[in-house]
Chain A
């Protein structure tokens, strides 16, 4: 494919690989902790970071990483210490994030087209410096999500048990939220801030149709994420569509296939009735 000989396309492809692997790698823990919408919220908050970057003439990516991490810390603190009122407080944080982001982008003199690129992804806007940051941060997320898998699993599966076992649940809860924030920021050029959370959830939902274990789901989800991101990017480049929606539609297609496959499989072995 001649498209691949362009440097912007190589950069976009590299970013898609990182996004496809990291979003489900951390997303599996997020889904297990029943925080599937956390990514959405962090995406909204990260937009304010992008706007601050554009306004101050610094890197929107670096600013988004910093602001999203700040948002993750606030969200975890609210969840831990203000359980009863956390719901509304979180909602306000998310609305504030997106309102502040759009407001500041307008203020910085950037157009709706610029905003659109950050919300739904774009394959042409990433610099070499950006992609280096994406690869480094993505590798860190990937490494942590695999290296700390036993602790993250214990925490995500049964937080109270993990606390009694002496796992530093507050620190690791915060770390998971922080890694999610980093993932969202590094994925925004590929899938965009409004859809990045889909790539943390849909590949996991697809993989759990086919795997009976957490570990199996974790790795298969990364495989599905990688396929969706790369295939979606290539299709979007070929038909000149925005990459974010294309990637998410591919991921949904993978999910539909997995669900059909599972349905067919359970029909075939229907005599074995699950107990309980």
Chain B
């Protein structure tokens, strides 16, 4: 445990504590030292360009990517963390249009496998909960259809239901809004609101907050593998007139970066503290 690195709530209360997380892939430094803390009931947005390292960061937090540094989940070092049912994970670009058909129900129910890691079948309660979630993401009539026949937005809703089926205390999502239609975005925002009300912490990597902007407590922006403390945060996004500025900085074009960002890249910044709203 890296005690005392972060906020006033203390490391014991934190759901995720990360300190000095570094990732190097094929000689490229993707993450160059990230400190991070996520507290119960908090919705953290991780923003940044393509290639800024935001997906790599949550892959490291989930144990999917080798890293140096320290990560604890629910107060337990990642390597020893066993309570996997407390995490709901939604990875990027899930595309299962080939292979053997899998029904929406089967995919959603596979989220309960965290309760049966070595063996065992889903219980009746888990099946009922999966059915409820499928209804609540608006896929009730599609429960028995192969997931490959659904639209991108519908598939994503099914994967969100899968992430929630184990009643997680932490939901981690990598770009859940990419290529998703407006109806699905509304449903996503509604579902996440319900989860926040339950006290679930949410971490979401995204290009843009869009439909969930109102729900987010705090954002960090990654730039070239570091947390950027001078980047525009979510509070400023709510202020009129600044959204254009944000688009300029966070748009897809890398060419017109304000000069001070580049100048500050070598300075090791810290996570923006506390809720912004």
Contact = CB atoms under 8 A, between A and B. Distances in A.
A170 interface: no
Interface in A99-150: 147-150
B110 A211 contact: no
A215 B84 contact: no
Nearest to A165: B114
Contact of B117 (A34, A151, A158): A151
Given A32-B99, A157-B102, A165 B94 contact: no
A14 interface: no
Contacts of A163: 62-64
A211 B101 CA distance: 8
B103 A214 contact: yes
Contact of B84 (A31, A32, A148, A166): A166
Contacts of A158: 91, 94, 96, 110
Interface string B140-175: 000011100111101100000010001000001000
Interface string A1-36: 000000000000000000000000000100111100
Contacts of A147: 119
B94 A151 contact: no
The interface size bin for chain A is 35 or more
A214 B91 CA distance: 21
B89 interface: yes
Interface string A161-174: 11111111000000
A211 B102 CA distance: 9
Contact of A157 (B87, B96, B105): B96
B187 to A, nearest CB: 15
A213 B100 CA distance: 8
Interface string B101-112: 111011101111
B150 A150 contact: no
Interface in A158-197: 158, 160-168
B84 A214 contact: no
Contact of B114 (A149, A157, A166, A218): A166
B238 interface: no
Nearest to B145: A212
A166 B96 CA distance: 21
Nearest to B62: A164
Interface string B69-108: 0000000000000101101010100101011111101110
Interface string A197-229: 000000010001001111101100000000000
A31 B101 CA distance: 11
A276 interface: yes
A213 B101 contact: yes
B151 A275 contact: yes
A154 B146 CA distance: 15
Nearest to B105: A213
Interface residues of B, number: 45
Contacts of A162: 110, 113
A76 B45 CA distance: 37
B82 A166 contact: yes
A161 B119 contact: no
B169 to A, nearest CB: 14
Contacts of B145: 212
A271 B109 CA distance: 30
A212 B146 contact: yes
A149 to B, nearest CB: 8
B119 A28 contact: no
A275 B150 contact: yes
B18 to A, nearest CB: 16
B120 interface: yes
Contacts of B119: 147-148, 151
Interface string A30-52: 01111000000000000000000
Interface string B3-42: 0000000000000000000000000000000000000000
Contacts of A34: 98-99
Contacts of A154: 110, 113
A165 B101 contact: no
28 contacts: A32-B99, A32-B100, A33-B99, A150-B110, A153-B102, A153-B110, A154-B110, A161-B94, A161-B162, A164-B62, A165-B87, A165-B89, A165-B111, A165-B113, A167-B114, A204-B100, A208-B100, A211-B101, A212-B144, A213-B102, A214-B101, A214-B102, A214-B103, A275-B149, A275-B154, A276-B150, A276-B151, A276-B154
Interface of B: 62-64, 82, 84-85, 87, 89, 91, 94, 96, 98-103, 105-107, 109-114, 116-122, 144-146, 149-152, 154-155, 162, 166, 172
Given A151-B119, A166-B114, A166-B117, 9 more contacts: A34-B99, A150-B120, A164-B63, A164-B87, A208-B101, A212-B145, A213-B105, A214-B100, A217-B101
Q: Which 10 A-B residue pairs are closest in the complex by CB-CB distance?
A: A166-B84, A276-B151, A165-B114, A213-B103, A164-B89, A154-B113, A32-B100, A166-B117, A154-B110, A214-B102
Interface of A: 28, 31-34, 147-151, 153-154, 156-158, 160-168, 204, 208, 211-215, 217-218, 274-276
